[in-house]
Structure 1
Amino acid sequence: MVPLWPDNDGWQPRGHGSDDWVADEVLDAEDFLSRRVADEMNQDPHVSGGQMVVTVQNGVVILEGYADTPATREAAGRRAWATPGVFDVCNMLSVDVHRDQD
């Protein structure tokens, strides 16, 4: 599972090598929060399997993409809610257990 977020270059994964840039970047609050949620989800062993896109609008985290199991979908929503600064979560993740078998 690789949570993603938008930036000026399109959708970029976080924490995968030399492209991992945050320290010197000036981020607006929504970018910062979406990255924080994605980082938290990457560190949670219960959130694995699938591909999720994390965006934030007005403090509301929007989770889109797919999860491999209902448990992963629910864990992603719980992790997003547990992140400081999140006011609400819109969990739009679908569960697609056959996606990798196509």
Structure 2
Amino acid sequence: MYMPWPLPDENWFADASNQFEQDREDVRIEALVAQRLSVDWTTRRQQISVCVQNRVVILTGVVSDSETRQVAAELAYDVPGVFDVCNTLRLSGQRRSRR
């Protein structure tokens, strides 16, 4: 018989109604980060997608230089409620190596 082992942060007996509040918070954070990125002169014309899961902002897309990549992460960190930022933005012209 297989018995799943819970992760330390998991609470299988917790009230599931809290999930709705967490989802609303993620949507709020996602909107605020996207708004900040679209207003800032450094990041407004870049191809940046924003996704939020459990208050962690995930930035994906292509930017023109490393300064823009860093500014995008800093703008995301400055939004209230953000726990962490996963910056996976790539630089334009940067190619993946083939193995």
Q: Does the alignment reach a TM-score above 0.5? A: yes
1:60 aligned onto 2:77: no
Query: TM-score, normalization: structure 1?
Result: 0.64
- Give the deviation of 1:50 after TM superposition: 2.4
- Higher CA-based Rg: 2
Query: TM-score, normalization: structure 2?
Result: 0.66
1:93 aligned onto 2:89: yes
Question: Are the equivalent residues in 1 in contact too, given 2:49–2:59 (CA < 8 A)?
Answer: yes
- Which shows bigger deviation, 29-38 or 39-48? 39-48
- Runs ≥4 in structure 1, deviation > 3 angstroms? none
Unaligned runs of 5+ in 2: 1-22, 95-99
Question: Are the equivalent residues in 1 in contact too, given 2:38–2:45 (CA < 8 A)?
Answer: no
Alignment root-mean-square deviation, CA = 1.7
Aligned match of 1:77: 73
What amino acid maps onto 2:49 in structure 1?
A: V
Match of 1:29 among 4, 9, 25: 25
Number of positions where the alignment pairs a residue of Structure 1 with one of Structure 2: 72
Aligned match of 1:46: 42
Identity %: 36
